[in-house]
A and B are shown apart, each in its own frame.
Chain A
Amino acid sequence: MLLVIGGIASGKRSFVRSRGFEDRQMSSRLSSGAPVLLDLDELLREGPIEGPAWDEVLSKQVIVCCEVGMGVVPIDAGERAWRERVGRTCARLAAASDEVVRMVCGIPVKLK
């Protein structure tokens, strides 16, 4: 499994394309059957991903997630819980991944 993280417009999708995946193989829906899962951060809006849904996440070849925790702590409690969830989930996924890449200005920086 490959985890790709990075800020908004940092080149995450372009990097996944460079690994041989086409746009039709990428989906932000979990149950799409696509090998690439996009926008994990948005999937975590409603709450943590658990049980069979988590197994589904782990079955992906590539997971793409926006980094969201590098700015001001949000005033809104729901937003705070969400960014915390995104961070924790990325850490769990990174531990389970063979490869972790962080995009900086369109350039892949290998973290693992």
Chain B
Amino acid sequence: MNVLVTGGAGSGKSAYAEGLACSLSTQRRYLATMSAEGAEAQARIERHRRQRAKGNFETVECAGTLPTGDYAGVVLLDDLGNLVAQALFAPDGSMADEQEVLARLDAEVGRLFLHADHVVVVGNETGAEGRSPYEGTQVWVRLVGSLACRIAARADAVVEVVAGIPYPIKGAIA
């Protein structure tokens, strides 16, 4: 089954998504989307690593593009915000084309849904804070939202985690 887990910052969506992934298969792969720049990012990565250590996930680094091929098990993609940021912003500060990034990532997640037994994608609720004054942030917010809409349309289930509580938006978790 393919599930999209969304929620605000610090809502417990990663912990829920990991628990869900563990319940779906004993073969577990984690797609790491975050660039490890800065102490804050490293601390967050460390916390997520400790959380995942219990689940015996095989970690695959993916910098803005998802791996291809069949996978007999569950793939955990955490999270769309980082995936989009890596795909959208080049290290020199330049920005890729919004529609191209959307089409490519939508296709890549769609392919992942077809080729893995189970996929759990973690999204981010970023669009309910008014419009950012920065163009790059505006594009990122739109992309994270639009990509989540497309993934949700394909997913078997969508769950919003609110204060650590999974709230069903679409489908049901088996």
Contacts and interface: CB of A to CB of B under 8 A. Distances in A.
Which secondary structure dominates chain A's binding surface?
loop
Given A7-B125, A9-B141, A10-B145, A107 B130 contact: no
A49 to B, nearest CB: 18
Given A8-B141, A70-B8, A105-B4, A79 B130 contact: yes
B37 interface: no
Contacts of B153: 106
A8 B140 CA distance: 11
Interface residues of B, number: 27
13 contacts: A6-B127, A7-B125, A7-B129, A9-B127, A9-B141, A9-B144, A74-B130, A104-B6, A104-B152, A104-B169, A105-B4, A106-B152, A107-B158
B128 A9 contact: no
B127 A106 contact: no
Most buried by A among B149, B151, B158: B149
A95 interface: no
A107 B129 contact: no
A69 interface: yes
B123 to A, nearest CB: 6
Interface string A97-112: 0000000111101000
Contact of A104 (B141, B151, B160): B160
A101 to B, nearest CB: 12
